[in-house]
Structure 1
Amino acid sequence: MNTVIPILLYHSVQDDAPVGFGPWAVTCKLFADHMDALLRLGYTGLSVGEVVNLIRSGAEVPPRSVAVTFDDGFADFASNAWPVLKHRGLPATLYVTTGVVGGRSEWLGPVGAGELPMLDGSAIRELAGDGVEMGAHSVTHPQLDCIGREAASREIAGSKKALEELIERPVDTFAYPHGYHDKAVRQMVIEAGYSSAAAVRNALSHPQDDPFALARYTVMADCSVEHLEAVLAGTAVKRARPQERWRTHVWRQARRFRASKARWGSNA
């Protein structure tokens, strides 16, 4: 089966992003152009929950299906992204970093973007009531495969609990911060009660994709409409592989080494 289900990953929609965060912030006009392209090309919008239900049921995937997701929970989602999506009848899945609700993007301090405003609780509840599918994105946005099992478990389960209490409805999907995860982290997501998890992988999802490591394509600030169309068509990116790439494994080991070295240094 050659069916693909592009799951697009956005972070921020704004025109004046800090320089260090600029690559992850799509301008308002470009985002609107992207969404117009989806409609012009005849795509059907799905939430992540709908994608997973199709994968698990074995049901036929509607032709030209696409899912639009946002990570982190920046305040500009409510002001700049959701109105565009709602006006066009396109659903969205928003993954919220629960520890910074109503605060600032503290984890982005190293790139000079630690003061970006995050959605507050009332905005999140309003968006959920307006049809946005809410997912959890950890409490503090760490590299879950590098922080130790107990800490990772608290991040995964704690964000689900906090978000469910906030919106007063179940939260069934999780997104790995930075896309980083391993088998143990994946199992923690399952044990916490989620029914799916979104990774990154910069590939196209499909009916045989792992519901707990869904492939997504990161849409960057320089993604033209033409490039997005090539992504959707599968000419710019490939279908997700069933196994982890070797370079992903090597990169994880390098990150773990740096993390352990930093912890050792802090305890010296």
Structure 2
Amino acid sequence: MSRSRASRPRAVGRRGPRVLMYHFFGDVPAEADPAGLFVRPKALAEQLGWLRRHGWRALTLDEYLAALDGAPTPRRSYLLTIDDAHESVLKTAAPLLAAAGVPAVLYVPAGLLGGRVSWSSHTVYGSERLLDAQQVRELARAGVEIGVHGHDHTRLRGLGPADLAPHVTGARDVLAMVTGGVPRTFAYPYGTWDEASRRAVAEAGYLAAFAVARRGGRFAVDRIGVSAGDSLIVFRFKLSLFYRLLSRAAGRAWRLRHAVRRVVARGPT
């Protein structure tokens, strides 16, 4: 076995811990939630209950990071992450997670504390409020791990070093002042990254970073998105090995499409 294969992090392998990704929580009609971001409280409770009954163990961030370093984990284990810091995390999700004994990592756009969802192309989300500094501090004190989700949810792909700095290091400094602890992990806004942004995150000293679908090792770990329309059957399927393989194949197809586009853009040599 080659050195690279032998040292491959278990947590990003086929059978390693799953990483779940949530956004907002609440009973919102479909027409007011075109992107399917709002997971109903009843659905979240059902998902957490199903995971517990079927032997899935929730990991703390420390346990997940140890798994990245090669520590053994239960065959059925997962890390629960939440992006964007919507106010429903405190009001709705946190009590349900605490009751179920499930730790969570919350990824916060540091420059939008107390603001609104200003980045979505769906205008219906423009009135949705985000957690303010005091609320983020309250969650941190309650045991929710706080991570960085950029400064203002700007897409990082295509940015140079100077433009990346506010989103990678500046945002971390803000959240460190808010919570009193330095965030250890990063989640790319929109889940997208390129080599420059991944390198910036790694060189900034983060211990891991999370993406969506397209994976790239420790600093672009893919996650399973949980959506408003996911029935319990769909949720169970998303945890399966088959779904993971499908997601990886989709990521490879994405890379192929973009490689072709780069060649076409350069023109004939």
Same fold (TM over 0.5): yes
Structure number with the bigger relative contact order (C-alpha 8 A, sep ≥ 6) is 1
1:139 corresponds in structure 2 to: 151
1:150-189 aligned within 5 A: 150-189=162-201
Cα pair 2:16 2:75 within 8 Å, conserved: no
Change (3 A) 1:49 1:69: same
| Residues in 2 aligned to 1:248 and 1:114: alpha-carbon distance in whole angstroms | 32
* Residue ranges of structure 2 left out of the alignment (5+ in a row): 1-12, 262-269
Aligned with residue 254 of structure 2, among 231, 247, 252: 247
1:122 corresponds in structure 2 to: 134
1:75 corresponds in structure 2 to: 87
Greater mean deviation of Cα atoms: 100-109 or 89-98:
100-109
2:71 corresponds in structure 1 to: 59
Cα pair 2:17 2:75 within 8 Å, conserved: no
Asked if residue 101 in structure 1 is aligned to residue 113 in structure 2, the reply is: yes
* Residue ranges of structure 1 left out of the alignment (5+ in a row): 204-208, 255-268
Deviation, structure 1 residue 183 = 1.1
How many matched pairs? Answer: 249
Could you say what secondary structure the match of 1:230 adopts? helix
Q: What is the identity percentage for the equivalent residue pairs of Structure 1 and Structure 2?
A: 31
Deviation, structure 1 residue 78 = 0.6
CA RMSD between the two structures: 2.6
Deviation, structure 1 residue 47 = 3.1
Change (3 A) 1:21 1:156: farther
Q: Which stretches of structure 1, 4 residues or longer, exceed 6 Å deviation after superposition?
A: none
1:258 corresponds in structure 2 to: none
Deviation, structure 1 residue 231 = 1.8
Change (3 A) 1:67 1:142: same
| Residues in 2 aligned to 1:41 and 1:50: alpha-carbon distance in whole angstroms | 20
Could you say what secondary structure the match of 1:238 adopts? helix
TM-score, with length taken from structure 1: 0.84
Cα pair 2:214 2:252 within 8 Å, conserved: no
For residues 127-159 of structure 1, what are the alpha-carbon distances to aligned partners after superposition, in whole Å with 9 as ceiling and x for unaligned? Answer: 111111110000110110134432122211111
Cα pair 1:202 1:218 within 8 Å, conserved: no
Cα pair 1:173 1:197 within 8 Å, conserved: yes
| Residues in 2 aligned to 1:253 and 1:133: alpha-carbon distance in whole angstroms | 39
1:200 corresponds in structure 2 to: 212
Cα pair 1:49 1:173 within 8 Å, conserved: no
2:221 corresponds in structure 1 to: 214
